[in-house]
Amino acid sequence: MTAVLGRRRVAVTTLALFGVALALLMLRFGPSPLAAQASSHREAPLIANDPTADVTDFYMFRSIQPGQADKIDLIMNVIPFEEPSGGPNYYNFDPSVAYTFHVDNNKDGRAGDVQFEFRFTNEIRGIVNGAGLPLAYVALPPITTLSGAGSEGLGVRQHYSLTMIKDGHRTPISPMTDKIAVPSNVGPRTMPNYDGLAEQGMYDLGGGIKVFAGQRDDPFFIDLGAAFDTLNLRSPGTDMLSGFNVNSIVLEVPATLLTSDHGTPATTKQPKLGAYASTSRPRVTVRGGHGRGHGHGDGDGGLVQVQRLANPLVNELIIGTKDKDRWNSLEPQQESAFLDYYENPRLALALSLVFGAPVPATPRFDLENALLKYAADDRRFSELLRLDVSSAPGASWPNGRKPADDVTDTAIQVVGGIAFAGAGDNVGANDKVLPNVFPFLASPWDGRNRVHQNP
């Protein structure tokens, strides 16, 4: 990326950097959500973080596992910046959130053709609960299994269900009984063989379907520190997210379950899929509260979307901050309300202003074509992650997305155009090696021995 740098003026630059850093801090941590105590009227928090409903990344790709090329994998990661040592409660999925993958298989931009919904419940149990210990996990004895002997130390255990929704019809794929989410990696005394424990949480449901829910290493990678240090880039760069974990839901299904004609990647006449991940919470209204004493929601079971995520970058780089709540509340096929952001991307403007390098002229239709359409002549705009399942396994974003794809570099190159070909941050891979077998994500850092640096 040095080719487009030009000269620098350090003093002024430092001021600008300070502003950017502050802006970042404001964005990351926001105005404090803590409600006031001092005033006598009821002050509820106005802005609250919601990490368990915060989807950090969404992936969809043709399996890169040898012999599994007829499978499609869908991954959603939630809970940003999990500090591995974050006890005593560590990190769990949210029982009040529906975590859903949505797939469009007939190119109409509506991702309701096939949906997979994950719901979680908490079980408080075991010796921890019996002894009233303020710990979620304890080595009494060491935790070696998710259930039965060796699982006594799991004071909190999450079960989950998986439901497939096709044409509005709900089919339970796995009931809320035996599937258990893999707990956070506490450390070697409490969980002496974490990988073995995690493997027990990789379920083969039959019919070519596999699921995993639990903690993983955050596969996203970027050298933010070098960029902030007055563009003190290095080769190789350092992954700023090294040593942080996320909670992942990984679903592998035969492509035949997704395609509209039930064809395989080789035989389907309709190989193009579009998809996104969402989190939803129960719908409530002021007047809807009558007649219920307990339980969740307003009794109708209705859910309302908290967040959606298809392509990386869109929410933060393309959509303006002022429209984010609205954007998240709408469906992908309503993206035409936001076309201006794609045609006049702020990122390109910034790149052009500060680097002085030419970027493609506006209005731009290449971003719309890449992110919102199946083909250039498509008149329906829908922000979906698109995958041509007939492409060979290993295709990279924006043809699907694998955990290993370097979306930072791709985004700068695509948005910046020809002048930014080859630009990037020199972090081309995750800090942990990403496996090419299910669940395609690396084991999480453990709470005792974690280090925030590259191994």
Partner 1 sequence: MKRPRLIVLATVAALAATVALGGGALRGSHSPGALAAAPADASAYMALGFHLQALERKTGDPVYLTTSEHALRKALALAPGDRAATSGLATLALSRHHFREALALGRELLRLSPESASAYGVIGDAQLELGRYRQAFAAFDTIARLKPGLSSYARVSYARELLGDRPGAIAAMRLALEPAAASREDTAWTRVQLGKLFWSEGRMGAAAAEYRAAVAVSPGYAAALDALAQVEAARGRPARAIALERRALVSMPTPQSATALGDLYRLAGKTSLAWAHYEQVRELYRRLAANGTKTDLDVALFDVDHGIRLPQALALARRGHAHRPSIDGDDVLAWALARNGRCSAARAYSERALRLGTRDAAKLFHRGMIERCLGNRRAARLYLGRAVALNPHFSLLWAPVARKALG
* 222 in contact with partner 1 (CB under 8 A): yes
- Measured in whole angstroms, the distance separating CA 432 from the mean position of its chain's CA atoms is 18
- Sites for partner 1 among residues 136-175 (CB under 8 A): none
What values do phi and psi take at 445, rounded to 5?
-65, 145
* 421 in contact with partner 1 (CB under 8 A): no
**To the nearest whole angstrom, how small is the minimum distance from the Cβ of residue 15 to partner 1?**
5
* 365 in contact with partner 1 (CB under 8 A): no
Q: Are 119 and 176 in contact (CB under 8 A)?
A: yes
Show the site string, 260-299: x = touches partner 1 by CB under 8 A, - = not: --------------------xxxxxxxxxxxxxxxxxx--
| Nearer residue to partner 1 within complex by CB, 147 or 329 | 329
* 340 in contact with partner 1 (CB under 8 A): no
**To the nearest whole angstrom, how small is the minimum distance from the Cβ of residue 31 to partner 1?**
5
- Sites for partner 1 among residues 377-416 (CB under 8 A): 407-408, 411-412
* 351 in contact with partner 1 (CB under 8 A): yes
**To the nearest whole angstrom, how small is the minimum distance from the Cβ of residue 36 to partner 1?**
5
* 57 in contact with partner 1 (CB under 8 A): yes
Stretch that binds partner 1, among 68-76, 249-257, 343-351, 367-375 (CB under 8 A): 343-351
| Nearer residue to partner 1 within complex by CB, 154 or 306 | 306
| Nearer residue to partner 1 within complex by CB, 67 or 293 | 293
* Two tokens, residue 106: 């007939």
**To the nearest whole angstrom, how small is the minimum distance from the Cβ of residue 221 to partner 1?**
9
**To the nearest whole angstrom, how small is the minimum distance from the Cβ of residue 318 to partner 1?**
9
- Sites for partner 1 among residues 94-133 (CB under 8 A): 94-97
Q: Note every long-range contact of 451-454, with CB atoms under 8 Å and residues 24 or more positions apart, other chains counting.
A: 451/243, 452/242, 452/243, 452/244, 453/238, 453/242, 453/243, 454/238, 454/239, 454/242
| Nearer residue to partner 1 within complex by CB, 44 or 375 | 44
Q: Which of 140, 227, 339, 370 binds partner 1 (CB under 8 A)?
A: 227
Q: Note every long-range contact of 148-152, with CB atoms under 8 Å and residues 24 or more positions apart, other chains counting.
A: 151/126, 152/126, 152/127
* 304 in contact with partner 1 (CB under 8 A): yes
| Nearer residue to partner 1 within complex by CB, 192 or 288 | 288
**To the nearest whole angstrom, how small is the minimum distance from the Cβ of residue 430 to partner 1?**
12
* 51 in contact with partner 1 (CB under 8 A): yes
* 83 in contact with partner 1 (CB under 8 A): no
* 376 in contact with partner 1 (CB under 8 A): no
| Nearer residue to partner 1 within complex by CB, 15 or 451 | 15
Q: How many CB atoms lie within 10 A of CB 364?
A: 17
Q: Which of 175, 262, 326, 392 binds partner 1 (CB under 8 A)?
A: 326
